[in-house]
Chains A and B, each alone.
Chain A
Amino acid sequence: MMAWIQLAAGGALIVTGILTMCAAVLGVYRFHYVLNRMHSAAMGDSLGILLVILGLMVLSGFQSGTLKLALIIAFFWIAGPVSSHMICKLEVLVNENLREECEVPDDGSV
């Protein structure tokens, strides 16, 4: 009985996470500029992977692999924003026509 409850709870979490990732891919196709696309991609990178791996943790039960899965989430939540920030900095550096794509403050900070 316990195994069935685990399967149901973990399965619900995994399906929610995969739906979040589908939404992220849809957003990457629908948006028209990189900085908007990054917003959607970061959603899949943080919320999607959190939900899927929480589901896998529930499904696998209490064992040593569960802690490794928790470590993956911890690493991703630290590394994901850093990589998003670096991609954004590269885009702002490389794009010469940034003012045509989005609003930029005029105080010289960009």
Chain B
Amino acid sequence: MYETIYHGFLMACMLVTAALIILCLIRAILGPRLTDRVVAVNMIGTMTIVEIAMFALYLRENYLFDVCLIYAMISFLAVVILTKIYGGAYQERKIKGTPFLQVEDEEEQEGDEL
């Protein structure tokens, strides 16, 4: 009785979290700006950690908590590296004079010149 409710409850919570992860993924694809996508990726990382922690209790395996901790560190590192790389690329292109992330404006300007 107890085992059935325990496993059923954790499985239901895992399914809801999986649905939330898919919604975040759709947001990452839709997101009009670059930073929208980084925010969505950050949220996906958080929810994956919750999912792994619940799965660890579902299986009653303690080693999955270590996976969870490492995943938290890698998710944080991913955000740091993405922001650093995009900031650096933006400043580099600003020095060169080519616009960054403004392809539509550039096309309009070319159209005006023609």
Contacts and interface: CB of A to CB of B under 8 A. Distances in A.
Interface of A: 3-4, 7, 11, 14-15, 17-18, 21-22, 24-25, 28-29, 34, 37-38, 41, 44-45, 48-49, 52-53, 56, 59-60, 63-65, 68-69, 71-72, 75-76, 79-80, 82-84, 86-87, 89-91, 93-96
Given A28-B40, A56-B53, A75 B72 contact: yes
Contact of A94 (B13, B66, B86): B86
A45 B46 contact: yes
Interface string B1-44: 01001100100010011001001100100000111101110110
Contact residues of A: prevailing secondary structure: helix
Contact of A49 (B6, B50, B66): B50
A11 B2 CA distance: 13
B50 A52 contact: yes
A44 B65 CA distance: 20
Interface string B60-75: 0010011011001100
A29 B90 CA distance: 27
Interface string B76-102: 100110011011001100000000111
Given A44-B46, A94-B34, 17 more contacts: A7-B6, A17-B50, A18-B17, A28-B43, A34-B39, A38-B39, A49-B49, A65-B56, A69-B68, A71-B69, A75-B72, A75-B76, A87-B35, A90-B86, A93-B90, A94-B35, A94-B86
Given A18-B13, A41-B39, A87-B79, A93 B50 contact: no
Nearest to B62: A65
Contacts of B27: 25, 28-29
